[in-house]
Amino acid sequence: MHGTGSANFLEPLRMITWFLIVSRAIVLGLRAFVRDFRAFVRDLWAIFLDFFSTSSDQIVAVTWFGLCTIPRRKGSAIAAAFGIAGVVIVFVGILSIAQGFRRAVTSTGRDDIAIVLRDGANNEMSSGLSRDDARVIKDAPGVARQNDSAVASAELFVIIDVPKRSTGTDANVPFRGVQPVAPSVRGTVKITQGRMFEPGRNEVIAGVSAAREFAGLDVGKTIKLGRTEWNVVGVFTAGGGVAESELWTDSTVLQQAYQRGDSYQSVYAKLVSEDKFPQFKDALTSNPQLKVKVVRQAEFYADQSTMTTNFITTLGTVIALMMALGALLGALNTMYNAVASRSREIATLRALGFGAAPVVCSVLIESIVLALIGGTAGGLGAYLAFDGYGAATMNFQTWSQIAFAFAVTPKLLLNAILLAATIGLLGGLLPAIRAARLPIAAGLRET
């Protein structure tokens, strides 16, 4: 009993002793941190003031001297530039997908073309219009006319499975039933191979991107879609727009093939001018016979691309930032090694009267130059590898494949170069400050 009581008495003493030891260690650590932080801030302020008293000739001389020493450290310099080039290639490669997709969807959107859907519908898949609705829409004021007929096409939109050429796996492809006036409505459709389909016959024409990306769409081929066999009679372009990823046929034939009765899903109407859109829209939305939604084609296409574009952009940015962190650590390591290998040179310059500001500028500029070299090489490589590369991806608005070409735009390359420069700036900042704070006496003793 006595031994147990002693143990119980000593246990709180041990806990108090450990608490005091840990507390003392924390206090000493905090004091050291505060002391070092004050010295760091004091040195930063001194470096800042030194910028105002240092001539540009000193900065140029020290910077040029530092750049001339890069070949002596070519291994670490190449590694840092290579890492940044990899970040730029991934950044540009992924975001060029989003740029190409947006261009394919929105490039042919026009303000003088109106799209009419059922009220509340966000896309053609969820819309529905009757034949009478289509007739009233075509008779609305503001619609362009050709040979006393409205330049407007009532259209049907279904999704079909077509195998990809590259993998043989089925993909969702838009199959659009249009009226003969559809090419005139859009204004950019041109038959490049074969001919236009004939109304009333099981004939299809394929957009050039769809024909390139999916199997069985060559002119002269017969392809089975659903329960019906269709003859591919032509290939068309549409100004690089989303229609190039679609198959077109006569709307009446498509209604019969998919048992859609007399229903349509949208009406594309060419207006006399874009200024007629408000008149056209007001006439339809105020008509008690109709419950419709009227949008400009440009606005509709932009909305259809938003979800997929945002997803790809977010994914690409996250991946690029993760890789940028690795490249930043590589740049830090390279510049710390550069400062360590040049410590005697830096101390000699300081002893000769050069201030801290030229040293900071020298290290920062060296880091940024290496980053720009890597960024430029990565941007050039990404442009050569990705620009114009054909691919297909899912449009989450319609759950169908859209074929497009990667687009490496000047703005995208500029953003990539700015990202590389930022990595170089951040990667050189701490080593530059360390170089400026290096004691002259200690640096001169380095061998």
Residue 261 CA neighbour count, 13 Å, CB half: 8
Contact by Cβ (8 Å): 323, 131: no
Q: 369-419 pLDDT, tens per residue?
A: 989 999 999 999 999 999 988 776 766 666 666 777 888 999 999 999 999
Q: Which amino acid is at 61?
A: A
Sign of CA dihedral 308, 309, 314, 320: positive
What pLDDT score was predicted for residue 116? 96
What pLDDT score was predicted for residue 355? 73
What pLDDT score was predicted for residue 396? 63
What pLDDT score was predicted for residue 125? 87
Task: Find the mean pLDDT for residues 158-163.
Answer: 90
Look at residues 157, 121, 118 and name the one whose alpha carbon lies nearest to residue 134: 118
Pairwise CA distance, residues 270 & 287, whole Å: 20
Look at residues 113, 110, 111, 189 and name the one whose alpha carbon lies nearest to residue 151: 113
Cα distances (Å, whole numbers) of residue 49 to 55, 118, 129, 412: 13, 68, 73, 38
Mean pLDDT, the chain, whole residue set: 85
Q: 34-44 pLDDT, tens per residue?
A: 876 777 677 67
Q: 249-304 pLDDT, tens per residue?
A: 999 999 999 988 889 999 999 999 999 999 999 999 999 999 999 999 989 888 87
Strands 390-395 and 400-405: antiparallel
Contact by Cβ (8 Å): 399, 308: no
Token digits of residue 141: 């004021």
Residue 129: exposure state from Cβ atoms within 10 A (0-12, 13-18, ≥19): buried
Pairwise CA distance, residues 270 & 249, whole Å: 20
Query: Which letter does DSSP use for residue 15 in this model?
Result: H
Q: 426-436 pLDDT, tens per residue?
A: 888 888 877 77
Q: Which amino acid is at 261?
A: G
Q: Percent of the chain, pLDDT > 70?
A: 92
State the pLDDT confidence band at 8, using cuts at 50, 70 and 90.
Answer: low
Pairwise CA distance, residues 194 & 294, whole Å: 34
- The mean-pLDDT minimum among 95-104, 118-127, 145-154, 250-259 falls in 95-104
What pLDDT score was predicted for residue 416? 92
Give φ, ψ of 115 to 5 degrees.
-115, 130
Distance of CA 230 to the CA centre of its chain: 38
The pTM (predicted TM-score) of the whole model is 0.69
Token digits of residue 365: 């500029």
Q: 127-142 pLDDT, tens per residue?
A: 999 999 999 999 999 9
- The mean-pLDDT minimum among 63-77, 91-105, 161-175 falls in 63-77
What pLDDT score was predicted for residue 171? 86
State the pLDDT confidence band at 231, using cuts at 50, 70 and 90.
Answer: very high
Q: 52-74 pLDDT, tens per residue?
A: 667 677 778 777 877 787 787 78
CA angle 337, 442, 29 (to 5 degrees): 80
